[in-house]
Amino acid sequence: MHSSDPLAAAQSAAPSLLTARRDFLKSSSALALGGMALSFPNVLRGQPNGSKLKIGLVGCGGRGTGAAADALGSDSNSELHAVADVFSAQADGAINALSNQFKDRINVPAERRFVGMDGFQALLASEVDVVLLATPPGFRPGHLAAAVEAGKHIFCEKPMAVDPVGVRSVMESVRKSKEKGLNLVAGFCWRYCRSRQEFFKAIHDGAIGDITSYYATYYTGPVKPMASSNARKAEWSDVEWQVRNWYNFSWLGGDGYVEQCIHSVDKVAWAFRDQPPISCVATGGRQSPAEGGNIFDHMTAVYEYPGQVFATVGQRQIPNCFNENADYLQGTKGSAQLARGVSIRGEKTMRFREDDDAMYAQEHRDLFAAIRAGTPLNDGERMASSTLLGVMARVAAYTGQKITWEQILNSKEDLAPEETLTWDAAFTPTSTPVPGVYKFV
């Protein structure tokens, strides 16, 4: 039976699987927690404007550094208080870059620069109020569960997981975050773009009638190309090598459809009021050569919604090809597009201002405003549902099968390689999936 509530359906269908994602906590890196007693201070609710908010950044790459800049820029009475990353150079680089922009608001001495796969634990034990989760998404479910347990307000980058087991962990964390009254804002940035909010409100208000079809494109060049094996240093373990090239391994990045194209998938979900589809079929594969890595470089998914309404999402990351990031909607009373302008042609023509850059700051402004007002803002249910929508298509493409929403909710696919993964471990990932051979579980 088709369910309209993915969280409730998952809880009733597979309660034993609503547990935290495998922890990747053991490390031979610089930080050794040893016998440190971890205590998690409670975050104050409704902090007045005069209270300084302390920010903790988990994942100090370009995306995490950008999120920290947006967070600091959204609230003048905040500071960067702690950082955690597996690489000390990235932690130092983020602090240096942010110090140039926010000279008096970077308060991260050496003892609060946590390095190692378990560094996020020490960060959560510090006195941070708000945590920004921006590591490779394979680690996100475990980090989110720990942040919620610690009682922190959270900005959680997309996607929130890379497989169904991870999504169900996220769903459970969302449930707990609501019980605790925590703020949880997702990095689905288009939801915080004012022009897109106006656009989708008009769609929901019937500007083009009932939606009859949706076509979205996410065609681009390679986002993070796999490094040549010649660049690998002898001292780097298999795990370190893969983390350095995380985008190219499905257990860390989820594949390009889930990691990048998920923004387009989220807009499809938005258009259909976050109600899940009935099923999905998808095609995909690897056309351009790759040295290592196991992800596809192209994928096209077709979601079926009630009433034989179909949404098609095309994704490609191959050089020297046509590029486009657009959305085209057809309805019973008109059409609309998010492409070369934002417009609706229905009983009346509507055009919307474009303020794409503002959304990155707006999601943090709304988060900090909610913290200070004591009125929780929680994107959890839709962020989990949109992530699962992306995973659904990836699984359909890998297997070559039609996948229903109920199947993906209950799937046992878990891309994590081992129960306990150490930084110095030897690990050979699975090969690139072959449709018709790769099995649904």
The total number of residues shown for the chain amounts to: 441
Instruction: Give yes or no: residues 184 and 196 share one domain.
Output: no
| Residue 415 maps to a domain | no
Question: What six digits make up the tokens of 97?
Answer: 């870059």
Same domain, 288 and 371: no
Report how far apart, in Å, the C-alpha atoms of 317 and of each of 222, 284, 375 are.
Answer: 5, 12, 41
Domain co-membership, 163 together with 305: no
Of 75, 95, 66, 71, give the one whose Cα is nearest residue 83.
95
Residue 61 has φ and ψ, to the nearest 5°, of -75, -165
Mean pLDDT of the 41-48 span? 46
CATH number at residue 82: 3.40.50.720
- Say whether both 161 and 218 belong to one domain: no
Asked if residue 423 belongs to a domain, the reply is no
pLDDT for res 49:
62
Same domain, 173 and 236: no
For range 119-142, the mean pLDDT = 97
User: In this structure, how many other beta carbons lie within 10 angstroms of the beta carbon of residue 61?
Assistant: 16
CATH number at residue 239: 3.30.360.10
Q: H-helix or E-strand containing 72?
A: helix 62-74
- Same domain for 174 and 205, yes or no, is no
Return the CA Rg of the chain.
21
Whether the pLDDT of residue 2 is over 90: the answer is no
Quickly list H helices, 209-283. Answer: 238-244, 250-253, 256-259, 262-271
* Domain presence at residue 25: yes
pLDDT at site 39: 40
What share of the chain in percent tops pLDDT 70?
88
Full domain range(s) for residue 342: 191-354+387-410
Q: Read off the pLDDT of each residue in 183-195 and give the average, rounded to a whole number.
A: 96
The predicted-structure confidence for 60-116, as pLDDT tens digits, reads as follows 999 999 999 999 999 999 999 999 999 999 999 999 999 999 989 999 999 999 999
Give residue 354's pLDDT.
75
Report d(CA 155, CA 182) in Å as an integer: 11
- Flag whether pLDDT at 428 surpasses 80: yes
Same domain, 222 and 328: yes
What is residue 50's predicted lDDT score, i.e. its pLDDT? 66
Q: Region 389-402: what's the mean pLDDT? A: 98
Average pLDDT, the chain: 89
Does 18 fall in a domain?
yes
Name the domain count of the chain.
Answer: 2
pLDDT > 70? residue 40: no
Is residue 146 situated within a structural domain?
yes
Residue 370 lies in a domain: yes
Residue 92, both tokens: 């130092």
pLDDT at 22: 53
Q: What is the pLDDT of residue 291?
A: 82
The answer to whether residue 357 scores a pLDDT higher than 60 is: yes
pLDDT at 47 exceeding the cut of 70: no
Angle CA 12–13–15, to nearest 5:
70
| Cβ count near 45 (within 10 Å) | 16
Q: Are residues 48 and 164 in the same domain?
A: yes
Give the per-residue pLDDT at 226: 94
Q: What is the Cα–Cα distance from 243 to 293, expressed in whole angstroms?
A: 11
Domain match, 248 and 183 both: no
Same domain, 105 and 210: no
184 and 232 part of one domain: no
pLDDT tens digits for range 206-257: 999 999 999 999 999 999 999 999 999 999 999 999 999 999 999 999 999 9
Q: Is residue 359 part of a domain?
A: no
Read off the pLDDT of residues 251-261 as tens digits, 9 standing for 90 and up: 999 999 999 99
Q: What is the pLDDT of residue 35?
A: 33
Q: Does residue 81 sit in the same domain as residue 198?
A: no
pLDDT per position as a tens digit, 312-351: 999 999 999 999 999 999 999 999 999 988 999 999 999 9
On whether the CB atoms of residues 322 and 333 are closer than 8 A, the answer is no
Q: pLDDT of 169-180, one tens digit each?
A: 999 999 999 999
Phi, psi of 423 (to 5 degrees): -60, -30
Q: For residues 4 and 109, which has the higher predicted lDDT (pLDDT)?
A: 109
Scanning 213-261, the segments in alpha helix (DSSP H) are 238-244, 250-253, 256-259
Residue 21 pLDDT > 60: no
Domain-located, residue 202: yes
Rounded to two decimals, the pTM is: 0.90
345, with CB counted inside 10 A (0-12, 13-18, 19+), is: middle
